[in-house]
Structure 1
Amino acid sequence: MAQQAPILIVGAGQAGAMAAAELRKLGHADRIVMVGGERHAPYERPPLSKAVLADAGQRGQIGVHPASFYAEREIDLRLGTTVTAIDPARSVAACTDGSEIHFGACLLATGGSARALKALPPGTPDVHYLRTLDDADALREAMQRADEILVIGGGFLGLETASTAVDLGLKVTVLESADTLLGRAAPAELGDWLAQRIRARGVDLRLGCQIAAIEPQSQGVRVQLADGTAWQVPVLVVAIGLTPNSGLAAGAGLALHPGNGGIRIDERGRTSAPNIYAAGDCASQFHPLFGTEMRLESWQSANEQARIAATSMLGLEAAPAATPWFWTDQFGCNVQMLGAAHAGIRYAWRERPPGDAASPKFMLLGTLDGRLRHAIAVNAGGDLRQLRALFGLPVEEHLARLCDAALPLRQLVREVQADATGRTASLTTL
């Protein structure tokens, strides 16, 4: 390959690995250097709180690409190394091993770090944060020695961890300060239903609670609520969100979002500095569907932003990002979400089983101004895929039928599409 300044990818995670693959797929034949601080080749993080946490044998199944991928495609993968500084004016990155990398273009795919409690910094005995493969290994080993865990945080990660612990036979307590579960990503209807299911599985779920004190003990951790309720548990898991790793970008003078702390990028993945791009959990971008700029912490978003950034680095036009999609597996349910929650969205149920149902299956359809903006499927991923065609279309007149589980969804979707197409054609001829 030609010995010119390489494309540098900072971060060996989902976004970085997918961007490297896309560059080669698009025919980029010059050098690619990928630098990552972990000792593991790029792996997928969603299994860490599920399959990998339950079974160490799953560790080898979560690579973003096969182990031979990087050598076969001549991608210079440098693990256990961190980029400490970037000079945009000189297009140079400095690394912890003392080397400098001169780049033609750079992708920042630095991800994020688990948000920590000040009273319990990472490394506190019997306290676990779950972000990396090593974190999952440590937590799994601790759970194998324990009969009980307490999880602080009722978001996706906390609930997935609690679900895995229940399946392994542990006694589980979950503490969440909000009054509903998943409040930032899902409507109260789903949060309330999920809370019923979690309690039916034997979890001591406490909502709207405030922690008054946390005290590491010689063995375990003591947690006390403001109402006086207290536990002393052998394993404490803290799952209270993610902090973007944007310090490198800040040091290079790149623009950050003042609210979410992410590296600001445009629709093509470009940062405020020429030839520097960003993708994944560290990136903040305007999303038309949400109507605001935000960081989307999801597997799909990392993939889409990486694809678009890689295409843009080569001076090509990329297809627009797909409608945001997210999934979680917990308490016997595969939950998939398409679109986004908005203030003012109204939700309607397509079936509504009880929370303790053995095999629940239902959907929640969210409309805003009569148009489909958010859809949630519980054990109904096939139905959700059919609804993709209706996103952004007026569905209000058809909503009652769309929510009638006795009617075939595929046919209903076709009818709604035909109606929307007919209306558009009528307006065009006026």
Structure 2
Amino acid sequence: MTSPGVVIVGAGQSAAVAAHSLREHGYRGRITMLGRERHKPYERPPLSKAVLVATEEPRLEVLTEESWTRSDIVLLSGSDAVALDLAQQHVRLADGQVLEYEMCLIATGGEANTLASAPPANPRVHYLRTLDDARRLRAALQVKPQVAILGGGFLGLEIANSALSAGAAVTVLERAATLLDRFLPPEASAWLESGLRDAGAQILLGVSLSDVHSLPSGRMRLITDVGDLEVDEVIVAIGLLPNDALARDAGLEIAAGGGILVDATCRTSNEHVFACGDCTSQQRPGQIAPTRLESWQNANEQARTAAAAMLGAPLPGPAVPWFWTDQGKHNIQVLGLPAPDLEYVRRGDPAEDKVLWIGHRGSVPLHGVAINAGSDLRAIRPLFNRRQPVQLEDFQLDTINLRAWAKQMQADADATV
């Protein structure tokens, strides 16, 4: 009897990487991928940057045509999985079709968090999650409108920089008192805010939004606790919600904070179902509770882990979380996870637009933030993997070669074992 193979629910970055990894591990069974969108899996990071402003839209495909052909993946675009039956091991689609599986991988990603007063159906309101969303926003930016961006997170600030480069007048509204205070040390946050203001953005911090109205003129009015604001377009970037409804309805375990709960192998509470990417929540070293990581790296790492675990192949080693964002002409990279009790030491000067921070607990590096210093962060990455104390005084000296310093710290740690 022919095996029903692997059914992958979702057709984004993580889904494509998992399917490709299954083939790389030698899996020869049927792989069926279900995607709501009409596009093949594509990279999402450029949606807030190059897709909005580049002269020509960049190529976004996760897999090349050659890889698709070689991997022999059956892609059912425009299909919506509405039910997962764990006992019968099948997925039911909205059109009534039923797909059996030997193993199922849920890679449904996330959905943009929405505001009731700014619904996605409003032609002057934008949420940026899909390629079609980005194309619609790009068209709106062509006329250099006045834009309000609700949310000062990484995505909102990327869009702000893109809109400024397109000639739009930009106002960013953020409820917190500082930008990205949960992810960056205060100095880095202040540097980011100053750069945006210098580029022409108006930044309103600590602002509470009470309502959004459509005006007869076609413009939008935002009602806040510091006064009203009228703009041409409203962009909402207030976070991502894990798309875990299919798993929840099937009875799979869901983390308290949302997201399909998976173990270190990306297996769910059902032995035949795995999950990866933005829809998951996973317990990680040093974290009190399972957490969600919405990043390009995590989508790829979990996809490769899930594929290997499905086949009983050797698992890739655990990776320290890594995230990057391009803010205008500046690149910011983040390694590890922040925590309220970390202390930070700095190398370089924010005024010179090149700086590296290490957030540590008891001299153990746990959180690294690099501004235009990605190579420096890569040089010291092994120290984050080891989770051992290091001598941080020398790190701050510009005269010290970071790669040599990191190797010395590793050698010193090995000598004490």
DSSP-derived class of the 2:88 partner: coil
Deviation at residue 407 of structure 1 after TM alignment: 1.9
- Identity across matched positions, percent: 42
Matches within 5 A, 1:106-145: 106-145=104-143
CA–CA separation in structure 1 for the residues paired with 2:190 and 2:28 = 52
The yes-or-no answer on 1:7 pairing with 2:16 is: no
Please say if 1:33 is aligned against 2:32.
yes
1:60-107 C-alpha deviation (Å, 9 max, x unpaired): x11111134323321101111111101000001111232110100000
Consecutive unaligned residues in structure 1, runs of 5 or more: 425-430
Q: Aligned pair in 2 of structure 1 residues 280, 56: CA closer, same or farther (>3 Å)? A: farther
State whether structure 2 residue 291 is matched by structure 1 residue 294: yes
Contact between 1:3 and 1:31, CA under 8 Å: does it hold in 2? no
1:322 paired with 2:319, answer: yes
CA contact (8 A) 2:363 2:392 kept: no
Residue identity in the other structure for 1:411:
A
Q: CA deviation at 1:56?
A: 6.4
The separation in 1 between residues aligned to 2:31 and 2:40, in whole angstroms, is 15
Q: Kindly provide the CA deviation profile for residues 170-191 of structure 1, in whole angstroms up to 9, marking residues without a partner as x.
A: 1111000001111222222321
Structure 2 residue aligned with 1:272: 269
Match of 2:166 in 1: 168
Within the candidate set 306, 313, 318, 2:303 is matched to: 306
Do 2:191 and 2:350's aligned partners in 1 also have CA atoms closer than 8 Å?
A: no
- Normalised TM-score (structure 1): 0.94
* Equivalent residues in 2 for 1:373-392, closer than 5 Å: 373-391=366-384, 392=386
- The answer to whether the aligner puts 1:363 opposite 2:356 as a matched pair is yes
Query: CA offsets per residue over residues 261-287 of structure 1, 9 Å max, x none?
Result: 100001111111120010000001001
Number of the residue aligned with 1:416: 409
Give me the whole-angstrom Cα distance separating, in 2, the residues matched to 1:49 and 1:200.
20
Alpha carbons 1:8, 1:105 under 8 Å: kept: yes
Which residues of 2 match residues 8-407 of structure 1 at below 5 A? 8-55=7-54, 57-59=56-58, 61-218=59-216, 219-228=218-227, 230-259=228-257, 261-354=258-351, 360-391=353-384, 392-396=386-390, 398-407=391-400
Write the distance in 1 (CA, Å) between the matches of 2:63 and 2:123. Answer: 34
Q: 1: distance between equivalents of 2:66 and 2:129? A: 25
**Count of paired positions:** 415
For structure 2, list consecutive stretches of 5 or more residues without a partner in the other structure.
none
Report the secondary structure of 2:56's partner residue.
helix
| Partner in structure 2 of residue 427 of structure 1 | none
How far, CA to CA, are the matches of 2:199 and 2:292 in structure 1?
33
Q: What code does the residue aligned with 2:141 have?
A: M
Deviation at residue 26 of structure 1 after TM alignment: 0.2
Q: Which amino acid aligns with 1:332?
A: K
Is the Cα contact below 8 Å between 2:262 and 2:268 reproduced in 1? yes
2:316 corresponds to which letter in structure 1?
A
- Aligned 8 A contact 2:144 2:167 in 1: no
Matches of 1:175 and 1:197 in 2, distance apart?
16
TM norm structure 2: 0.96
Change (3 A) 1:246 1:8: same
Question: 1:210, CA displacement in angstroms?
Answer: 1.0
CA RMSD of aligned residues (A): 1.4
